[in-house]
C-alpha cells in the first residue's frame, strides 16, 4: 500500500490553526448558537446534539453526530443526551437514505486514540453511506477514494432536510 501524505490534516486533528495555536474542539459550539453553519459544515444544531459534515470524508455523505456537551465517552452522557444523540443518528441515516439512496451504512464511534478516534476528547458517531461497488479501481489500484461532490454542494443539498430535525425529536 502506498502512503498519501496529508500533513495539513494534523492541524484539523490537533485542533490547531495554521500558526500552530490551539483552537477549541471542532464539535463545541457556543450555547446560544442555533441553526446550521456552512463555514463549520454544521447541518444541524439542536438543543443537545449536532450533525456536521466530515471535512475529510471516507465516502461522499460522511457525516458526524455528536452531543453538544463536550464529553469523551458514553458513560459521561445523561440519559436525555444519549436518547437525543441516538435519535439524531437515526434521523441522519433516514435523511441520507432519502437523499443519496445508499445500499447500506457504516455507523459507529471510535473510543480512544488506539481505537482510531481522531478527536478523542469529544464523543462522536461516524455515519458513512455505502454503495455496492463503492470500492472502485481507484481504491483497488492506488488506495485512493474519489469524492464526487464538493462539500459546499453537499451542504446546500442536505441542510433543508435537517431543518425539521428538532420537531421530529419532539414527536418521538
Instruction: Pick the catalytic residue from 122, 124, 126, 169.
Output: 124
Q: What is the pTM of this model?
A: 0.77
- Calculate helix-pair angle for 151-162, 79-100, nearest 10 degrees: 120
Q: What is the pLDDT of residues 78-118, one digit of tens each?
A: 999 999 999 999 999 999 999 999 999 999 998 888 887 78
Q: What is the pLDDT of residues 115-172, one digit of tens each?
A: 877 888 999 999 999 988 766 444 444 555 556 667 888 888 899 999 888 777 777 7
Strand-pair partners of 91 = none
Query: Of the given ranges (24-33, 56-65, 163-172), which has the lowest mean pLDDT?
Result: 163-172
CATH 3.30.428.10, applies to 33-147: yes
Query: Using an 8 Å Cβ cutoff, are 102 and 61 in contact?
Result: yes
- pLDDT-derived band of residue 15, with 50, 70 and 90 as boundaries? low
Q: Where are the domains of the chain?
A: 33-147
Give one DSSP letter per residue of 52-77, joined into a string: EE-SS-SSTT-EEEEESS--SSGGGS
Q: Is 124 a catalytic residue?
A: yes
Amino acid at each position: 500500500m502506498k502512503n498519501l501524505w496529508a500533513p495539513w490534516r494534523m492541524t484539523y486533528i490537533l485542533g490547531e490553526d495554521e500558526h500552530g495555536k490551539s483552537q477549541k474542539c471542532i464539535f463545541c459550539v457556543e450555547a446560544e448558537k442555533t441553526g446550521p453553519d456552512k463555514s463549520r459544515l454544521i447541518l444541524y444544531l439542536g438543543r443537545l446534539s449536532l450533525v456536521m459534515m466530515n471535512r475529510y470524508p471516507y465516502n461522499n455523505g460522511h457525516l458526524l453526530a455528536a452531543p453538544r456537551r463536550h464529553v469523551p465517552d458514553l458513560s459521561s452522557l445523561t440519559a436525555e443526551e444519549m436518547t437525543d444523540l441516538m435519535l439524531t443518528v437515526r434521523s441522519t441515516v433516514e435523511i441520507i437514505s432519502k437523499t443519496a439512496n445508499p445500499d447500506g451504512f457504516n455507523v459507529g464511534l471510535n473510543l480512544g486514540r488506539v481505537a482510531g478516534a481522531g478527536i478523542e476528547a469529544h464523543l462522536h458517531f461516524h455515519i458513512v453511506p455505502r454503495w455496492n461497488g463503492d470500492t472502485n479501481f481507484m481504491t483497488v489500484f492506488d488506495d485512493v477514494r474519489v469524492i464526487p461532490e464538493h462539500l459546499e454542494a453537499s451542504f446546500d443539498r442536505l441542510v433543508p432536510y435537517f431543518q425539521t430535525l428538532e420537531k421530529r425529536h419532539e414527536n418521538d
